[in-house]
Amino acid sequence: MMGKKTKTVKVINIDLEKCNGCRACEMICSAFHASEKYSSNNPARSRIRMIRRPLEDIYLPIYAGEYTAAECMGRDKYVIDGKEYDECDFCRASCPSREAFKEPDSGLPLKCDMCEDDPPQEEPLCVKWCLSDALTYEIREEEVEDEEEEEQKDLTQKEMERSIKALADRYGLDKVANSMARLLKKE
């Protein structure tokens, strides 16, 4: 018999009607993830990005999700309440089709980690800094099948794997391997 297990699900609720478009979420995300926390900020490095087309009244915060090596073949359009969105507007992927969710210098993919911290933050900082309450936070307990739960890898390890995969996609595995070899030699 398969066992049941409780899993903690962290949820950011996004209420588009409440967004005032200030981009504090982008700013504080990039500041929190600076090495030495808050020592710099740069919205281009943020793991949340505002899709912002003021005159169309489109204000859409999107979180960075998985890295993908290739962009989609087609582009669908959504019309919601008379506003036209590109499919990509809702997509969380760090993808070759756009600048968002990549480190500006290296092009390495970024992913939202809900502000993992030690000691833990009360809530992700984008939520904390959103005084308009367009972003709110809740923690839900869900029952899941034991087997189905993904094996929890160390967070740093996951990030490493993602980065190496992205580099390999971009420059070819050979080139990455050679660079690594050169680096190791120097040490």
Site map for other proteins, 67-106, x if CB under 8 A?
A: --------------------------------x----x--
DSSP letter at 18 equals: G
Applying CB under 8 A, among 1, 2, 55, 139 the residue interacting with other proteins is 55
Instruction: Give per-residue burial for 82-117: e unless 16+ CB within 10 Å, then b.
Output: eeebeebeebbbbbeeeebbbeeeeebbbbbebbee
Applying CB under 8 A, among 7, 10, 40, 158 the residue interacting with other proteins is 40
CA atoms within 13 A on the CB side of 150: 6
Q: Which is nearer to other proteins, 38 or 90 (CB)?
A: 38
| Spatial separation of the C-alpha atoms in residues 132 and 128, rounded to whole Å | 10
Place of tokens 């000691």: 119
Report the site for other proteins in 105-134 (rule: CB under 8 A). 129-132
Q: Which is nearer to other proteins, 95 or 130 (CB)?
A: 130
In this structure, are strands 58-63 and 77-80 parallel, antiparallel, or unpaired? unpaired
Applying CB under 8 A, among 13, 20, 106, 179 the residue interacting with other proteins is 20
Cα 43–Cα 44–Cα 49 angle in degrees, nearest 5: 70
Report the site for other proteins in 130-159 (rule: CB under 8 A). 130-132
Q: Which one of the spans 3-11, 32-40, 74-82, 176-184 is the region binding other proteins (CB under 8 A)?
A: 32-40
| Spatial separation of the C-alpha atoms in residues 51 and 170, rounded to whole Å | 26
Applying CB under 8 A, among 36, 81, 143, 154 the residue interacting with other proteins is 36
Token pair of 134 as six digits:
């367009």
**Interacting residue ranges for other proteins, rule: CB under 8 A:** 20-24, 27-28, 31, 34, 36-45, 52-55, 57, 59, 99, 104, 129-132
